[in-house]
Amino acid sequence: MVADHNPKSNISFAGTFVSSAFAACTAEITSIPLDTAKVRLQLQKTAVAGDGVALPKYRGMLGTVGTIAREEGLTALWKGIVPGLHRQCLFGGLRVGLYEPVKTLYVGKDFVGDVPLTKKILAALTTGALAITVANPTDLVKVRLQAEGKLPPGVPRRYSGALNAYSTIIRQEGFGALWTGIGPNVARNAIINAAELASYDQVKQTILKIPGFTDNVVTHLLAGLGAGFFAVCFGSPVDVVKSRMMGDPSYKSTLDCFVKTLKNDGPLAFYKGFIPNFGRLGTWNVVMFLTLEQAKKFVRSIESS
Protein backbone atom coordinates (compact mmCIF):
# COMPACT_ATOMS: atom_id res chain seq x y z
CA MET A 1 0.00 0.00 0.00
CA VAL A 2 2.99 2.22 0.50
CA ALA A 3 5.02 3.10 -2.52
CA ASP A 4 8.60 1.97 -2.91
CA HIS A 5 10.91 4.94 -2.59
CA ASN A 6 13.46 3.49 -4.95
CA PRO A 7 12.08 3.71 -8.48
CA LYS A 8 14.38 0.93 -9.64
CA SER A 9 12.67 -1.43 -7.20
CA ASN A 10 9.20 -0.92 -8.66
CA ILE A 11 7.36 -3.95 -9.98
CA SER A 12 4.71 -4.21 -12.68
CA PHE A 13 1.01 -3.52 -12.13
CA ALA A 14 0.29 -7.24 -12.53
CA GLY A 15 2.98 -8.07 -9.97
CA THR A 16 1.64 -5.50 -7.51
CA PHE A 17 -1.95 -6.69 -8.05
CA VAL A 18 -1.08 -10.34 -7.41
CA SER A 19 1.12 -9.50 -4.39
CA SER A 20 -1.49 -7.29 -2.76
CA ALA A 21 -4.37 -9.68 -3.51
CA PHE A 22 -2.42 -12.56 -1.94
CA ALA A 23 -1.50 -10.44 1.09
CA ALA A 24 -5.09 -9.22 1.50
CA CYS A 25 -6.51 -12.76 1.30
CA THR A 26 -3.99 -13.97 3.89
CA ALA A 27 -5.01 -11.14 6.22
CA GLU A 28 -8.71 -11.87 5.62
CA ILE A 29 -8.39 -15.53 6.62
CA THR A 30 -6.52 -14.53 9.77
CA SER A 31 -8.88 -11.81 10.95
CA ILE A 32 -12.39 -12.72 9.75
CA PRO A 33 -13.58 -14.10 13.15
CA LEU A 34 -13.12 -10.59 14.56
CA ASP A 35 -14.82 -9.14 11.51
CA THR A 36 -17.83 -11.40 12.09
CA ALA A 37 -17.98 -10.24 15.72
CA LYS A 38 -17.76 -6.61 14.55
CA VAL A 39 -20.67 -7.02 12.11
CA ARG A 40 -22.88 -8.67 14.76
CA LEU A 41 -22.17 -5.84 17.23
CA GLN A 42 -22.83 -3.16 14.64
CA LEU A 43 -26.13 -4.71 13.54
CA GLN A 44 -27.32 -5.13 17.12
CA LYS A 45 -29.94 -2.54 17.94
CA THR A 46 -31.17 -1.36 21.33
CA ALA A 47 -34.02 -3.68 22.28
CA VAL A 48 -36.80 -2.47 24.55
CA ALA A 49 -38.63 -5.00 26.72
CA GLY A 50 -41.59 -3.65 28.70
CA ASP A 51 -40.55 -0.61 30.70
CA GLY A 52 -36.87 -1.41 30.59
CA VAL A 53 -34.13 -2.02 28.10
CA ALA A 54 -33.30 -5.65 27.41
CA LEU A 55 -29.73 -6.78 27.82
CA PRO A 56 -27.96 -7.03 24.47
CA LYS A 57 -27.22 -10.49 23.15
CA TYR A 58 -23.66 -9.60 22.15
CA ARG A 59 -21.39 -7.81 24.63
CA GLY A 60 -17.79 -6.98 23.73
CA MET A 61 -15.44 -8.60 21.28
CA LEU A 62 -14.58 -11.73 23.25
CA GLY A 63 -18.15 -12.10 24.48
CA THR A 64 -19.47 -11.90 20.93
CA VAL A 65 -16.92 -14.41 19.66
CA GLY A 66 -17.81 -16.74 22.55
CA THR A 67 -21.57 -16.41 21.99
CA ILE A 68 -21.27 -17.14 18.27
CA ALA A 69 -18.99 -20.13 18.85
CA ARG A 70 -21.22 -21.52 21.61
CA GLU A 71 -24.54 -21.11 19.81
CA GLU A 72 -23.51 -21.71 16.19
CA GLY A 73 -20.17 -23.52 16.34
CA LEU A 74 -16.61 -22.36 15.65
CA THR A 75 -17.06 -22.48 11.89
CA ALA A 76 -19.69 -19.72 12.16
CA LEU A 77 -16.86 -17.30 12.95
CA TRP A 78 -15.65 -17.79 9.39
CA LYS A 79 -19.04 -17.02 7.85
CA GLY A 80 -18.56 -14.95 4.75
CA ILE A 81 -14.99 -16.14 4.13
CA VAL A 82 -15.71 -17.08 0.49
CA PRO A 83 -17.11 -13.67 -0.56
CA GLY A 84 -14.51 -12.14 1.74
CA LEU A 85 -11.76 -13.70 -0.38
CA HIS A 86 -13.60 -12.64 -3.54
CA ARG A 87 -13.60 -9.11 -2.15
CA GLN A 88 -9.92 -9.08 -1.26
CA CYS A 89 -8.84 -10.42 -4.65
CA LEU A 90 -10.65 -7.49 -6.29
CA PHE A 91 -10.49 -4.71 -3.73
CA GLY A 92 -7.10 -5.56 -2.23
CA GLY A 93 -5.49 -5.95 -5.62
CA LEU A 94 -7.01 -2.85 -7.22
CA ARG A 95 -6.51 -0.32 -4.43
CA VAL A 96 -2.81 -1.14 -4.18
CA GLY A 97 -2.19 -1.83 -7.86
CA LEU A 98 -3.79 1.45 -8.94
CA TYR A 99 -2.18 3.57 -6.22
CA GLU A 100 1.10 4.31 -8.00
CA PRO A 101 -0.47 5.12 -11.42
CA VAL A 102 -3.09 7.39 -9.78
CA LYS A 103 -0.48 9.14 -7.65
CA THR A 104 1.64 9.73 -10.75
CA LEU A 105 -1.44 11.13 -12.50
CA TYR A 106 -1.95 13.66 -9.69
CA VAL A 107 1.67 14.84 -9.40
CA GLY A 108 2.62 14.48 -13.09
CA LYS A 109 4.95 11.93 -14.65
CA ASP A 110 7.86 14.40 -14.65
CA PHE A 111 7.56 15.18 -10.92
CA VAL A 112 10.83 14.92 -8.98
CA GLY A 113 11.18 14.75 -5.20
CA ASP A 114 9.02 13.60 -2.30
CA VAL A 115 5.34 13.34 -3.13
CA PRO A 116 3.30 15.69 -0.86
CA LEU A 117 1.19 13.99 1.79
CA THR A 118 -1.95 15.61 0.38
CA LYS A 119 -1.35 13.95 -2.99
CA LYS A 120 -0.83 10.58 -1.32
CA ILE A 121 -4.09 10.95 0.60
CA LEU A 122 -5.93 12.02 -2.55
CA ALA A 123 -4.54 9.06 -4.49
CA ALA A 124 -5.52 6.65 -1.69
CA LEU A 125 -9.03 8.14 -1.50
CA THR A 126 -9.40 7.67 -5.25
CA THR A 127 -8.14 4.08 -5.41
CA GLY A 128 -10.16 3.08 -2.35
CA ALA A 129 -13.35 4.46 -3.91
CA LEU A 130 -12.72 2.93 -7.35
CA ALA A 131 -11.77 -0.48 -5.98
CA ILE A 132 -14.79 -0.88 -3.69
CA THR A 133 -17.15 0.28 -6.43
CA VAL A 134 -16.06 -2.81 -8.36
CA ALA A 135 -16.03 -5.08 -5.30
CA ASN A 136 -19.26 -3.93 -3.58
CA PRO A 137 -21.29 -7.08 -4.52
CA THR A 138 -18.74 -9.26 -2.71
CA ASP A 139 -18.92 -7.03 0.36
CA LEU A 140 -22.73 -7.18 0.38
CA VAL A 141 -22.80 -10.97 0.27
CA LYS A 142 -20.13 -11.19 2.96
CA VAL A 143 -22.13 -8.98 5.35
CA ARG A 144 -25.41 -10.82 4.62
CA LEU A 145 -23.80 -14.18 5.45
CA GLN A 146 -22.08 -12.85 8.58
CA ALA A 147 -25.23 -11.12 9.85
CA GLU A 148 -27.30 -14.31 9.97
CA GLY A 149 -27.13 -15.77 13.46
CA LYS A 150 -28.65 -18.87 15.04
CA LEU A 151 -32.13 -19.52 13.65
CA PRO A 152 -35.10 -21.22 15.40
CA PRO A 153 -35.67 -24.90 14.53
CA GLY A 154 -37.33 -25.34 11.17
CA VAL A 155 -36.49 -21.86 9.90
CA PRO A 156 -34.35 -22.10 6.74
CA ARG A 157 -31.38 -19.86 6.13
CA ARG A 158 -31.70 -17.08 3.58
CA TYR A 159 -28.68 -18.31 1.65
CA SER A 160 -27.01 -21.72 1.42
CA GLY A 161 -23.66 -20.19 0.48
CA ALA A 162 -21.89 -17.35 -1.31
CA LEU A 163 -22.86 -18.29 -4.87
CA ASN A 164 -26.45 -18.92 -3.80
CA ALA A 165 -26.48 -15.49 -2.12
CA TYR A 166 -25.36 -13.73 -5.32
CA SER A 167 -28.06 -15.47 -7.40
CA THR A 168 -30.79 -15.07 -4.77
CA ILE A 169 -30.17 -11.35 -4.36
CA ILE A 170 -30.27 -10.83 -8.14
CA ARG A 171 -33.44 -12.93 -8.50
CA GLN A 172 -35.34 -11.43 -5.56
CA GLU A 173 -34.02 -7.86 -5.40
CA GLY A 174 -32.63 -7.18 -8.86
CA PHE A 175 -29.10 -6.89 -10.25
CA GLY A 176 -28.70 -3.36 -8.91
CA ALA A 177 -29.26 -4.63 -5.37
CA LEU A 178 -25.71 -6.00 -5.43
CA TRP A 179 -24.64 -2.39 -4.99
CA THR A 180 -26.80 -1.83 -1.91
CA GLY A 181 -24.93 0.39 0.54
CA ILE A 182 -22.54 1.65 -2.15
CA GLY A 183 -22.62 5.20 -0.74
CA PRO A 184 -21.39 4.50 2.79
CA ASN A 185 -19.18 1.68 1.49
CA VAL A 186 -17.33 4.01 -0.89
CA ALA A 187 -17.02 6.59 1.88
CA ARG A 188 -15.80 3.99 4.38
CA ASN A 189 -13.21 2.36 2.14
CA ALA A 190 -11.92 5.62 0.68
CA ILE A 191 -11.48 7.06 4.19
CA ILE A 192 -9.94 3.89 5.63
CA ASN A 193 -7.62 3.50 2.64
CA ALA A 194 -6.38 7.08 3.05
CA ALA A 195 -6.10 6.75 6.84
CA GLU A 196 -4.10 3.54 6.56
CA LEU A 197 -1.76 4.95 3.95
CA ALA A 198 -1.04 8.27 5.66
CA SER A 199 -0.69 6.81 9.16
CA TYR A 200 1.44 3.86 8.01
CA ASP A 201 3.85 6.20 6.21
CA GLN A 202 3.99 8.63 9.12
CA VAL A 203 4.38 6.04 11.89
CA LYS A 204 7.00 4.15 9.92
CA GLN A 205 8.91 7.36 9.18
CA THR A 206 8.82 8.35 12.87
CA ILE A 207 9.95 4.92 14.07
CA LEU A 208 12.87 4.85 11.64
CA LYS A 209 14.17 8.08 13.21
CA ILE A 210 14.50 6.34 16.58
CA PRO A 211 18.03 4.95 17.13
CA GLY A 212 18.14 1.18 16.83
CA PHE A 213 15.12 0.80 14.57
CA THR A 214 15.51 -0.31 10.97
CA ASP A 215 13.14 -1.09 8.09
CA ASN A 216 12.31 -4.59 9.32
CA VAL A 217 9.47 -6.76 10.59
CA VAL A 218 9.19 -4.97 13.95
CA THR A 219 8.84 -1.59 12.26
CA HIS A 220 6.25 -2.93 9.84
CA LEU A 221 4.31 -4.48 12.74
CA LEU A 222 4.16 -1.25 14.77
CA ALA A 223 3.30 0.84 11.70
CA GLY A 224 0.58 -1.63 10.75
CA LEU A 225 -1.01 -1.36 14.21
CA GLY A 226 -0.91 2.44 13.93
CA ALA A 227 -2.57 2.27 10.51
CA GLY A 228 -5.32 0.03 11.88
CA PHE A 229 -6.03 2.34 14.83
CA PHE A 230 -6.35 5.50 12.75
CA ALA A 231 -8.39 3.69 10.12
CA VAL A 232 -10.95 2.64 12.74
CA CYS A 233 -11.09 6.11 14.31
CA PHE A 234 -11.94 7.74 10.99
CA GLY A 235 -13.88 4.93 9.38
CA SER A 236 -16.04 3.48 12.18
CA PRO A 237 -19.15 5.72 11.74
CA VAL A 238 -19.48 5.02 8.02
CA ASP A 239 -18.61 1.37 8.67
CA VAL A 240 -21.59 1.05 11.04
CA VAL A 241 -23.94 2.67 8.52
CA LYS A 242 -22.59 0.42 5.75
CA SER A 243 -23.08 -2.76 7.81
CA ARG A 244 -26.62 -1.78 8.83
CA MET A 245 -27.66 -0.89 5.28
CA MET A 246 -26.26 -4.13 3.89
CA GLY A 247 -27.68 -6.24 6.72
CA ASP A 248 -31.12 -4.58 6.76
CA PRO A 249 -32.65 -3.64 3.35
CA SER A 250 -35.42 -1.61 5.06
CA TYR A 251 -33.28 1.54 5.13
CA LYS A 252 -34.20 3.88 2.26
CA SER A 253 -30.83 5.63 1.94
CA THR A 254 -27.53 6.37 3.64
CA LEU A 255 -29.02 9.46 5.27
CA ASP A 256 -32.09 7.49 6.43
CA CYS A 257 -29.85 4.87 8.05
CA PHE A 258 -27.69 7.54 9.70
CA VAL A 259 -30.67 9.48 11.09
CA LYS A 260 -32.49 6.38 12.38
CA THR A 261 -29.33 5.01 14.00
CA LEU A 262 -28.65 8.34 15.70
CA LYS A 263 -32.28 8.72 16.83
CA ASN A 264 -32.83 5.16 18.05
CA ASP A 265 -29.42 4.18 19.41
CA GLY A 266 -27.59 7.44 20.08
CA PRO A 267 -24.25 8.80 18.79
CA LEU A 268 -22.17 6.09 20.47
CA ALA A 269 -23.85 3.56 18.17
CA PHE A 270 -21.52 4.77 15.41
CA TYR A 271 -18.61 3.36 17.40
CA LYS A 272 -20.29 0.06 18.23
CA GLY A 273 -17.81 -2.73 17.79
CA PHE A 274 -14.86 -0.30 18.01
CA ILE A 275 -12.62 -2.72 19.91
CA PRO A 276 -13.29 -5.75 17.68
CA ASN A 277 -13.01 -3.45 14.67
CA PHE A 278 -9.61 -2.25 15.86
CA GLY A 279 -8.61 -5.78 16.76
CA ARG A 280 -9.65 -6.85 13.30
CA LEU A 281 -8.10 -3.94 11.38
CA GLY A 282 -4.97 -3.93 13.55
CA THR A 283 -4.47 -7.64 12.92
CA TRP A 284 -5.44 -7.23 9.28
CA ASN A 285 -2.96 -4.41 8.66
CA VAL A 286 -0.08 -6.17 10.40
CA VAL A 287 -0.61 -9.41 8.46
CA MET A 288 -1.32 -7.52 5.23
CA PHE A 289 1.81 -5.34 5.34
CA LEU A 290 4.14 -8.12 6.48
CA THR A 291 2.86 -10.47 3.79
CA LEU A 292 2.84 -7.74 1.14
CA GLU A 293 6.48 -6.83 1.80
CA GLN A 294 7.56 -10.45 1.38
CA ALA A 295 5.30 -11.10 -1.62
CA LYS A 296 6.62 -8.04 -3.44
CA LYS A 297 10.21 -9.12 -2.78
CA PHE A 298 9.40 -12.52 -4.27
CA VAL A 299 7.67 -11.07 -7.34
CA ARG A 300 10.43 -8.49 -7.80
CA SER A 301 13.06 -11.24 -7.82
CA ILE A 302 11.08 -13.11 -10.51
CA GLU A 303 10.58 -10.05 -12.69
CA SER A 304 14.22 -8.97 -12.43
CA SER A 305 15.60 -12.41 -13.31
The Cα 55–Cα 95 span in angstroms is 40
Name the 3-class secondary structure at 2. coil
For 189-241, the pLDDT digits (tens) are 898 898 887 777 778 878 988 998 888 888 888 888 888 888 888 878 877 88
pLDDT of 274 reads 79
Handedness of CA 255, 260, 261, 267 (dihedral sign): positive
The model carries a pTM of: 0.74
Name the 3-class secondary structure at 252. coil
Q: In terms of DSSP H, where are the helices of the chain? A: 13-43, 61-72, 81-87, 93-97, 99-107, 117-147, 162-173, 182-208, 217-247, 254-265, 274-304
pLDDT of 8 reads 41
For 258-297, the pLDDT digits (tens) are 899 899 889 888 887 677 678 777 888 889 988 988 898 8
What b-and-e string marks burial along 271-281, b requiring 16 or more CB atoms within 10 Å of the CB? bbbbbbbbbbb
Q: What is the mean pLDDT of residues 39-65?
A: 71
For 81-136, the pLDDT digits (tens) are 988 899 999 999 999 888 888 988 999 888 887 778 888 899 999 999 999 999 99
Q: Which are the contacts of 170, defined by CB distance < 8 A and separation ≥ 6?
A: 177, 178
Pairing of β 52-53 and β 48-49: antiparallel
